[in-house]
Amino acid sequence: MRREKLFLFLCVFGFFFLANAVTNFQVKGLGQTVGLDLPSDIVDDCIHQDGHESQTNGNQDDRVLKTRRETPQQNNWGANRPNETFAKTFSLDQAVHFMDATSRNWQERRNCVTCHTNGLYMIGQAMLRRPSSDSESLREYAESYIGDFVTQDRKATGQFGSIEGLVTTAACLAISEQLTDKTLQPATKKGLDFVLAKQEPTGQWKNWLKCDWPPYEHDDHFGVSLMAIALAMADEEYRETPFVKLGMQRIESYLRKTPPVNAHQKGMLLWGAKYNNKLITEKQKKAWKDDLLALQRKDGGWSLLSLGDASWKRAGNGNPQGSNSDAYGTGFAIFVLRQAGVQASNPSLVRAIEWLKSNQRASGRWFVRSLKIRKRPSKHYISHAGTTFAIMALVECGHTVAEKLPKPRVNQ
């Protein structure tokens, strides 16, 4: 009898031990494959930057196994973290490699397009003018994502199909196509028409997510200014259709009645004014360029937090790094100043480019601390947007060749 009980106990113990080992192996393997620190916070695997659960198709375990089978083993970059080792050599190619893999993994695992990762990166890829399987895959995925709601009449569920995602997808597709093909694809036109049909008469989009996560999910201004850029860049034939003209008139009216209140909003309009001089006056253009240049820090960079206003709250944990220079603030400032006509040889931009080169991390990315207030640790996905803006800034200023740093930074 004792032997039977002992045998039963060992069987039960062995079963749970084996199950736990298999689970840990799958989670660890997935974390290494996609470059995220999943073991410490597996629940966050299905959470977007806005803190809402992503919508997935099929069983979660099936998605995990499918991702592991279809995604080649990537470098073990780990999570976005402030203590990642600094690169000894500046490399735009490594930054592109990081963002290609990160965007690909995002669309495979999250099944959506988002501002901070694969949405904005469509524009970054287009600026590189390096057609690749990754760039084609991302554009095809974005077309299919918005196409599900345009042609298949799919209903939004949670944040999957939310208005901010659809507007961002259509706008970034349009901008990227104008930077490469100079022609809007039929699927992109249908996407733009679809979101313009949902535009309010006052110019903005109702129910834009506002979860105090600047700069994208904080107010209506970002979506309106991003669409202003997309429509201003569109080919004349599309731009002059009555429906699109009405949408643009609504946008221009909104922007007149809702003037920018911070440097990020001003920067978005400096970008847009390159293609539509009705968005701002020459006086505003000069003043806003000066405003941005005045925010540059002594080390040559800008901080994301400094581009906002009092409503941009840093995570309430007493962290002192809120005002430090970062790649989002620096890359964004360089890029929009270049769109506004500031020369790459301008001493302020030269110093800013040097800041970017000396602050790249070993993975190729740049770390940017999230502005979101949240109880659980942030994944700092704004680092992806910061890395994309760094790429865009470097391309705009002609710095695309790898360069060994004379004095590489070291972690303190």
Least confident of 43-52, 263-272, 288-297: 43-52
| Portion of the chain with pLDDT greater than 70, in percent | 72
Give pLDDT, residue 3. Answer: 53
Q: How far apart are the C-alpha atoms of 218 and 84, rounded to whole Å?
A: 28
* pLDDT tens digits, 163-211: 888 898 899 999 999 999 888 999 999 999 999 999 999 999 998 877 7
Q: Which residue has the higher pLDDT, 72 or 108?
A: 108
Residue 259 within a domain:
yes
* pLDDT tens digits, 377-387: 567 878 889 99
Residue 36 within a domain:
no
Q: How far apart are the C-alpha atoms of 368 and 326, rounded to whole Å?
A: 6
pTM metric for this prediction: 0.80
Q: How far apart are the C-alpha atoms of 161 and 152, rounded to whole Å?
A: 12
* pLDDT tens digits, 123-155: 998 999 887 777 787 778 778 778 877 876 666
pLDDT higher than 50, residue 292: yes
State the average pLDDT over residues 29-49.
31
Give pLDDT, residue 194. Answer: 92
**Count of CB atoms situated within 10 Å of the CB of 301:** 24
pLDDT higher than 80, residue 275: yes
Task: Answer for the pair 122, 138: CB distance below 8 angstroms, yes or no.
Answer: yes
Give pLDDT, residue 382. Answer: 85
pLDDT higher than 50, residue 31: no
* Mean pLDDT over each residue of the chain, to the nearest integer: 78
Residue 350 within a domain:
yes
Assign 320 a pLDDT band (cuts: 50, 70, 90). Answer: very low
Q: What Cα–Cα distance (Å) separates residue 326 from each residue in 32, 33, 83, 141, 321?
A: 26, 27, 14, 30, 10
Chain-centroid distance, C-alpha 133? 20
Q: Which domain holds residue 315?
A: 83-404
Give pLDDT, residue 72. Answer: 32
* pLDDT tens digits, 234-252: 999 999 999 999 999 999 9
Give pLDDT, residue 18. Answer: 47
Number of domains in the chain: 1
Residue 143 within a domain:
yes
Q: How far apart are the C-alpha atoms of 357 and 92, rounded to whole Å?
A: 9
**What is the CATH number for 264?**
1.50.10.20
Give pLDDT, residue 301. Answer: 97
| Portion of the chain with pLDDT greater than 90, in percent | 47
Residue 98 within a domain:
yes
Give pLDDT, residue 107. Answer: 75
Q: What Cα–Cα distance (Å) separates residue 327 from each residue in 61, 122, 268, 353?
A: 35, 18, 17, 10
Give pLDDT, residue 193. Answer: 95
The candidate with the shortest Cα–Cα distance to 35, out of 82, 94, 77, 84, is 77
Give pLDDT, residue 75. Answer: 52
pLDDT higher than 80, residue 354: yes
* pLDDT tens digits, 46-91: 233 333 333 333 333 232 223 322 333 345 567 888 889 999 999 9
* pLDDT tens digits, 363-379: 999 999 877 655 555 67
* pLDDT tens digits, 384-397: 899 999 999 999 99
Q: How far apart are the C-alpha atoms of 284 and 286, rounded to whole Å?
A: 5
Residue 346 within a domain:
yes
How wide is the angle at C-alpha 56 spanned by C-alphas 71 and 136, nearest 5°?
45
pLDDT higher than 70, residue 351: yes
